[in-house]
Amino acid sequence: MDIFKRLIRFLRPYWMLALAAPLLMIIEVITELMLPKIMQHIIDTGVANSDLSVVIRSGILMSSLTFIGMIGGIGGAVFAIRAAMFTGSDIRSALFKKIQGLSFGNLDRLETGQLVIRLTNDVTQVQEAIFFSIHIMIRGGMTLIGSVVMAFITSPSLAMIFFLLGPIIVIFLIFVVKRTIRIFTGVQEGLDRLNTVIVENFSGMRLVKSFVRMDYEKTKFGKINDYLTNQSIKANKVGALSRPFMMLVVNMGIVCAIWFGGLKINTGSMMLGQLIAFVNYLMQALMSIMMVGMLLMRISRASASAKRIDEVFESSPEIQEAPKPVMALNPRGRLCFENVSFSYNFGKTSHTPILKNISFTAEPGETIAVVGATGSGKTSLINLIPRFYDVTEGRITLDNVDIRDFPIEALRKNIGISMQNALLFSGTIQDNIRYGRPDAADDDVITAACAAQAHGFITLFPAGYDSLVGQRGVNLSGGQKQRIAIARALLIDPAILILDDSTSAVDVETEGHIQDALSGLKKRRTSFIVAQRVSTILNADRIIVLDNGMIAAGGNHDTLLQTSPIYREIYDSQLGKG
Ligand X SMILES: Nc1ncnc2c1ncn2[C@@H]1O[C@H](COP(=O)(O)OP(=O)(O)OP(=O)(O)O)[C@@H](O)[C@H]1O
Using the rule CB under 6 A, is 345 a contact of ligand X?
A: no
Shortest Å, Cβ 372 to ligand X: 6
Amino acid letter, 142: M
Using the rule CB under 6 A, is 108 a contact of ligand X?
A: yes
**For ligand X, the closer CB: 274 or 482:** 482
Using the rule CB under 6 A, is 167 a contact of ligand X?
A: no
Among 374, 400, 471, 475, binds ligand X (CB under 6 A): 374
DSSP state for residue 340 in the 8-state scheme = E
Beta strands in 343-495 (DSSP E): 345-346, 349-350, 355-362, 367-372, 393-398, 401-402, 415-418, 427-428, 468-469
Using the rule CB under 6 A, is 378 a contact of ligand X?
A: yes
Size of the site for ligand X (CB under 6 A): 11
Residue 338 burial (CB count, 10 A):
16
Shortest Å, Cβ 374 to ligand X: 3
Which range, of 62-70, 136-144, 196-204, 375-383, touches ligand X by CB under 6 A?
Answer: 375-383
Amino acid letter, 221: F
**For ligand X, the closer CB: 108 or 321:** 108
Which range, of 186-194, 369-377, 424-432, 470-478, touches ligand X by CB under 6 A?
Answer: 369-377
**For ligand X, the closer CB: 375 or 565:** 375
Using the rule CB under 6 A, is 380 a contact of ligand X?
A: yes
Amino acid letter, 216: Y
**For ligand X, the closer CB: 318 or 405:** 318
Q: With beta carbons less than 8 A apart as the criterion, state whether 145 and 134 touch.
A: no
139 class by beta-carbon count within 10 Å (0-12 exposed, 13-18 middle, 19+ buried):
buried
Using the rule CB under 6 A, is 392 a contact of ligand X?
A: no
Among 376, 418, 430, 480, binds ligand X (CB under 6 A): 376
Q: Could you give the CA distance from residue 281 to residue 32 in angstroms, rounded to a whole number? A: 10
DSSP code string of 149-197: HHHHHH-TTGGGHHHHHHHHHHHHHHHHHHHHHHHHHHHHHHHHHHHHH
92 class by beta-carbon count within 10 Å (0-12 exposed, 13-18 middle, 19+ buried):
buried
Q: Which residues pair with 416 in a beta bridge?
A: 497
Among 196, 225, 361, 379, binds ligand X (CB under 6 A): 379
Using the rule CB under 6 A, is 388 a contact of ligand X?
A: no
Which range, of 259-267, 271-279, 378-386, 477-485, touches ligand X by CB under 6 A?
Answer: 378-386
Shortest Å, Cβ 545 to ligand X: 11
Measure the CA dihedral 227/232/235/236, to 10°: -150
Shortest Å, Cβ 521 to ligand X: 24
429 sits in the region (left: phi over 0; alpha: psi -120 to 50; else beta) called: alpha
DSSP state for residue 470 in the 8-state scheme = S
Using the rule CB under 6 A, is 377 a contact of ligand X?
A: yes
Shortest Å, Cβ 421 to ligand X: 10
- Please tell me whether residue 477 adopts helix, strand or coil conformation: coil
Which range, of 78-86, 217-225, 311-319, 367-375, touches ligand X by CB under 6 A?
Answer: 367-375
Using the rule CB under 6 A, is 562 a contact of ligand X?
A: no
Q: Could you give the CA distance from residue 413 to residue 87 in angstroms, rounded to a whole number? A: 34
Among 4, 227, 313, 344, binds ligand X (CB under 6 A): 344
Shortest Å, Cβ 340 to ligand X: 13
Q: Are strands 542-547 and 367-372 parallel, antiparallel or unpaired?
A: parallel
Which residues 415-474 are close enough to bind ligand X by CB under 6 A?
none
**For ligand X, the closer CB: 216 or 346:** 346
Q: What residue ranges bind ligand X (CB under 6 A)?
A: 108, 344, 354, 372, 374-380
